[in-house]
Amino acid sequence: MQWRLPAALILAAAGLWPQAARQPAQKPDEELPAPIQVDVELVNILCSVRDRRGGLVANLEKDDFTVVEDGKAQTVKYFSRESDLPLTIGLLVDVSVSQANLIDIERRAASQFFSQVLRKKDLAFLMSFGEEAELLQDYTNSAALLERGLDKLRVSSSPSGMHPGPVPTISRPRGTVLFDAVYLAAREQLKNQVGRKALVLITDGVDQGSRVRLEEAIEAAHRADAIVYSIYYYDPSAYYGHGGMTFGGVSDSDIKRMSEQTGGRLLKVSRKNTLEKVFEDIQQEMRSQYSIGYTSSNDRKDGGFRRLEVRTRNKDLKVQARKGYYAPKAGS
């Protein structure tokens, strides 16, 4: 598939770019802080809690939560509210033909979102996807650079060339490579980042011609520890002709599943619930998360998928968290 990246990033993804060239210049050794010791076996979960009315609950304590992995209760070791960990966020915008009338609205709302959500230690990147996935702005916390990236949003046209990438290049008709975009964003952009990681999708939910399946996109997000927020936004006139004749169909089922599996959620744009309001809801949620850490009672390094269930002792509250994670694999 096409994956337009700066030359340095293409080489880095292929393992051909020197590590030193990919990082900012470092300070002399005497100025560097002591290395942080990380427990690589620690399982980290970010979650949000809502009451029966859908309002965020932000005043819970460690003992209010229980964590169950593959049916076995786990002991929570670390807990914090309103995590101040650095945030890395990727915005993925659908620029297929069916979204043509919405791009200007998406551009304005996304610009406002970036200006409000990003703090000094946070990073963001911007991708578009239609017949190809394209990186419009690499990691930055500059609102100005992200604004320039948003200015590049254009309705997707036929790809003019092929670039090497991690997705198998088999021949299939292509229209909206939604799954490929999530896969690439998680695997190439987020996997090696630390802190909190999220992907925000703006799309009508249609995938046509991706090289990877929905399950592979979800797995890539799991392995990157990334939460997926899906914004369901579509233009009815792109799917219905005169006299009510249907020229296509839209469904939120795939993006809903992607979000729920990774601990995010599906948000729908409507006349009452504008895109600006949806972005505001996502921002509030990301700033009202709980961070839970535990060491799994299952010490096998088999690389398998382990199912998670996070609950609160108060049965009236609903926890929004990822449904599982992939265990480390021996030798990797």
Domain boundaries defined on the chain: 45-82+303-326, 84-286
CATH code linked to domain 84-286:
3.40.50.410
pLDDT confidence of residue 240: 62
* pLDDT tens-place string over residues 145-196: 999 999 999 998 654 433 334 444 344 456 799 999 999 999 999 988 988 9
Cα distance between residue 37 and residue 39, in whole Å: 7
- Below-70 pLDDT ranges, the chain: 1-40, 82-83, 157-174, 240-249, 332
| Residue 211 DSSP SS3 | coil
Give the E-state strand segments of the chain in sequence order: 3-4, 42-50, 65-69, 72-74, 76-81, 87-94, 123-129, 133-140, 196-203, 227-232, 266-268, 290-295, 305-312, 318-320, 324-326
Count CB-CB contacts under 10 A for residue 139.
13
pLDDT confidence of residue 25: 45
pLDDT confidence of residue 236: 83
pLDDT confidence of residue 251: 85
Q: Residue 96 is which amino acid? A: S
